[in-house]
Structure 1
Amino acid sequence: MRIKIGILGDNESFVITPIDFNVTDIRGIKVYLKNLNGGHVDNDKIIIPIVNVDVLDLYHKTVELFEGRFKCHIEKDADAGSLLGNAVNEEERFRAFSAKAYAIRNNNIDSSELTAFLDCVKQDSFIRTLKPFQILSAYHLAFSHNACNFSVPGAGKTSTVLAAYAYLASCNEIEKLLVVGPLASFLAWKKEYFYCFGTAPKVLEIMGNTPDKRIEKELMRSSIDLDLILVSYGSVSRQLDKLLFFLRNNRTMVVLDEAHRIKNVEDGVQSNATLQLSPFARSRAVLTGTPAPNSYVDLFNLYKFIWPSHNIIGFSVPQLANMSKREGDPRISELISRISPFYIRIRKSDLGLPEPWFLPPKSVQMSPIQDRIYDAISRMAVGRLEDGVSSPTNRLSAIIRLRQAASNPALLNRGLDDYYDGLDESVPRVALDSNLNVSDEIMDLIRTYKETEIPSKFIEAGELAKRVIAEGGKLVIWCEFVGTCDDLSDYLSKSGVENRILYGKTDYLDRERIINEFTDKEKPSAFNVVIANPHAVGESISLHVTCHNALYLEQSFNAGTYMQSKDRIHRVGLLQSDITRYYYIHSANTIDGVVFERVNTKEKRMLELIESQDIPLIANNQDFLEDNEDDIKAIIRGYYEYRSKHI
């Protein structure tokens, strides 16, 4: 069988014409073609799109299919031969380009070129002083035009991107900046733009409630007077046509902030819509501190975004999944080698931050009613964890109830429906069991708890807040449960401690006002305490400018969320004289101590992994998330240790 490969249109597709057979003679051809960039049969010819893909890679896959599997003899017409010849030359240039990008990444830089870069950035009114590692990251992005920054939270990734943007804009290579990110990131971009350029940006914010007419008016005019366009991930698919029109008509750098949100390779609406922006960007940056938390598959869309015309990854999704399951797979070193020229990763140890102070947990005795309630809930919870028949959902529900009883028994009056409020959408939702299975007497104590007693942890938190404020400081209090945020806020307000809440229910504009007022160094704030939920605001916000104290009133077993929340006040920008303090309040002889020990053990292992590996695979090395079997064993062990001492 013989086929001829030609080119259709203006280098839009390969067109494969059978010479001595019919396409329908090949069984299952349509299935195989889907893996060739969505190839399809059209009137006894085969069409394989080649726009914005690695042409050579796609050609080799096509040859492998038809020559290898179907035993076809392949001929090329003149147009195909010319296109592939140009592709070979381009690939050689790209390899040289990649080699230099890799050298820059490893700090092998021509000093004269770096000086020229810095001079150019300053000429464009960039006024912020960058740390050496930020200069390296900015220069790497400016040279490569398309790169990932996998640095830890708090490394100043936003300023790095703005420096690269300033350079490319001064060279007239780009003229606009568009950032796709979570809503929580919008304020950070606006503030960093001001810090870097000395003026507030003219900004368009595209989110769920932004009127379509305004978006159309701003993006589809002939002359666009905007410095910064901020788009929420959820809005990309809804406004895709307008965004594509804008990108086609404006030389734009597109940035994905918290880019792990597009890791879904299985028909994720959010991921697919965002990837469609890529071919029309002049420069691309991907920012995330967790590039591959679960699998090397998580890297696939990130590199597909930054280089849509080159197959940087070099492995298929199934291959990446297989590699992730096999520690020491020799293909992993090849993968890291392929992606290394186009990512920068600054570790926590590279930041040179002053060491924080971790105060020993303050253990407080529960008041009498809370003590009785906790005893009953602990019996119920441990019974479920030990019985061997309770479902995972019932076990999770029991652990949540135990944590609530140790902190704020009034929460036991609520169902568990709001447990997922503010959690990332990637967290699987299950129907939790709100049934407490305690006596009527204990239920009466729970129903009337809010009117009869104040949790001891609230009282201690109030005292700490007053001390911090008296010393001229500010305090962020981290609470896992939405109900605790509300109840603690009421208690502190009645105790004379003005405060504000940041959680999933906080309106976007209110959130901005709260953060702006709390972090303003020039104007006194009406409040010096913020109560925050780490699942809702644990990423993308910075509080370190004015706040150096954090209290953990509640914790979960999730080490990743804990580490993210700590970085809100311990990040680039701190003076060496700044002292960052972390406080902990535990109810004595409860699950609080177990959670604290477990999450710190996980954090230690997680830090070792993050600091030692280029692309750490979190899930393969340790279950750092919630309520794994070791956590459950620790809860049961802690329960019996306490009971053995108090019989």
Structure 2
Amino acid sequence: MHLILDESHRMKAGMGSQRGSILLNISSLPVRRDILSGTPMPQAPSDLQSQLDFLWPGSGLGLKIGQGSQPRQVLGNLYVRTTKEELGLKKPKRHFIHSEMNPGQQALYAIVRSEALKQFSSLKTESRFDVYKARRSVMTLLQLSVNPVVALRSMSEDGNLKTINSGILDKVIEEGPSRKMRDVVALARTLARNGRKSVIWTIFTDTILQLEVMLADLNPVSLYGAIPTGEEEGADTRENRIKRFHEDAACSVIIANPAAAGEGISLHKVCHDAIYLDRSYNTTHYLQSIDRIHRLGLPPDVETNIHIFQTVAPKGIGSIDYSVSRRLANKLRNLQQLLDDPDLHEIALDEENSVDPVNYGIELADLVDLIAELEGREPQFVDEEP
């Protein structure tokens, strides 16, 4: 028996996951095993350990990775990679676009960021660290950078609004969609006017649903976890929505979650613009979402554009979007060194050369004053002589 495992990086947790444990337990049964993956090492060299143990059970190759040996030294010539350069694909153009925060969003982001810093500092001082809570804080910051109104809902469910003044909350609600969301919507409309379909990527389902409303004039379709798979005809399925995007000239936008739609679909025949409203720290999701529109079969004269939106943060606060960019660059570099892929070099280089989205016109003191004003702690200025 010959067993071929596609998207093998999904078993990276090894015995720590149901998928990994099943695959490792049956690895000795086939006569031959092959694995396929565009991102075999999405986070760290340890991602390779279970994959090597599956390919060559009992050989000790996975153990060498676990003991710190360099992946290239362990793998040697045991793999082959076909690069996009070898496929003759034209390099995509990446555009980093900065969007300012609204005042209420700025104030709330600064408060949540300060609380997150206090929590993360426990990494150095406490033997026990609540990883789940830390991840929730990171996701809250990511959501605040793009959709603060929805972030408020999540924070309320977690009981994290008790210490935040109602004046700030009222301001955030009054502002509505962030400038970043409005900028993304504006770009999608501009592309549609020019006859170009686009795919908008966001990691938050609530944001997908809100974008559907904001872009109703472009007849969008959306893909996220709750959309079932099935036939192309006769039902509201993932396949039916993809078909509509391909065939309906009035449908100019597809809005998708990279975790749910980053694999298994091809959009490159009709779509050549990917718009990233936000991104996570997951390298696999980013690379595979790009591949939905930049893949084999793309005509050589077609230009592919990757539009990456980043929220501008006040000086001294730091943009979570820029943190994502730095970490993706680091992980892409590790992957590029393993696979010697010039395309990965280009993507990592673009991330490394992206400009930090900092608003140098706003100092920390200005932000403190803004928070105090929204909390009603500062006297109102009166435009008349005393």
Task: Confirm or deny: 8 A CA contact 2:109 2:144 kept in the other structure.
Answer: yes
Other-structure match for 1:413 = 152
Displacement of 1:545: 1.9
Task: Confirm or deny: 8 A CA contact 1:551 1:584 kept in the other structure.
Answer: yes
Task: Confirm or deny: 8 A CA contact 2:8 2:36 kept in the other structure.
Answer: yes
Other-structure match for 1:355 = 91
Displacement of 1:351: 3.8
Deviations 1:469-506 (A, max 9, x none): 2222111111122211111112211xx12111111222
Q: Percent identity?
A: 26
C-alpha distance in structure 2 between counterparts of 1:603 and 1:441, whole Å:
36
Other-structure match for 1:517 = 244
Displacement of 1:580: 0.8
Structure 2: where are the runs of 5+ without partners? 124-128, 231-236, 342-347, 349-355, 368-386
1:466 has 2:186 as partner = no
C-alpha distance in structure 2 between counterparts of 1:381 and 1:481, whole Å:
19
C-alpha distance in structure 1 between counterparts of 2:325 and 2:360, whole Å:
22
Task: Confirm or deny: 8 A CA contact 2:199 2:275 kept in the other structure.
Answer: yes
**Alignment map for 1:76-155 (pairs within 5 Å):** none
Match of 1:346 among 76, 82, 90: 82
Task: Confirm or deny: 8 A CA contact 1:263 1:271 kept in the other structure.
Answer: yes
Change (3 A) 1:550 1:593: farther
Deviations 1:147-168 (A, max 9, x none): xxxxxxxxxxxxxxxxxxxxxx
C-alpha distance in structure 2 between counterparts of 1:347 and 1:411, whole Å:
40
1:442 has 2:178 as partner = no
The residue type paired with residue 241 of structure 2 is I
1:551 has 2:283 as partner = no
**Alignment map for 1:161-560 (pairs within 5 Å):** 254-266=3-15, 268-275=17-24, 284-293=33-42, 298-299=47-48, 301-303=50-52, 305-306=54-55, 314-315=59-60, 318-324=63-69, 333=73, 335-337=74-76, 340-341=77-78, 343-364=79-100, 366=102, 371-386=103-118, 388=121, 396-415=135-154, 434-435=160-161, 437-446=163-172, 448-449=173-174, 453-493=176-216, 496-509=217-230, 510-518=237-245, 520=246, 523-560=247-284
What is the Cα-based RMSD across aligned positions, in Å? 3.9
Q: Which secondary structure does the structure 2 equivalent of 1:508 belong to?
A: coil
Count of residue pairs brought into register by the alignment: 340
Deviations 1:451-470 (A, max 9, x none): x7343333333322222122
Displacement of 1:347: 3.8
Task: Confirm or deny: 8 A CA contact 1:260 1:290 kept in the other structure.
Answer: yes
Displacement of 1:609: 3.3
The residue type paired with residue 512 of structure 1 is E
Compare CA radii of gyration and give the structure with the larger one: 1
Task: Confirm or deny: 8 A CA contact 2:283 2:332 kept in the other structure.
Answer: no
Other-structure match for 2:379 = none
Other-structure match for 2:296 = 572
C-alpha distance in structure 2 between counterparts of 1:485 and 1:558, whole Å:
19
Change (3 A) 1:525 1:380: same
TM-score by length of 1: 0.45
C-alpha distance in structure 1 between counterparts of 2:141 and 2:44, whole Å:
32
Q: Which secondary structure does the structure 1 equivalent of 2:144 belong to?
A: helix
1:643 has 2:367 as partner = no
C-alpha distance in structure 2 between counterparts of 1:291 and 1:353, whole Å:
21
Deviations 1:218-274 (A, max 9, x none): xxxxxxxxxxxxxxxxxxxxxxxxxxxxxxxxxx65431111223444264323434
Displacement of 1:615: 8.8
Task: Confirm or deny: 8 A CA contact 2:42 2:335 kept in the other structure.
Answer: no
TM-score by length of 2: 0.72
Other-structure match for 2:383 = none
Q: Which secondary structure does the structure 1 equivalent of 2:319 belong to?
A: helix
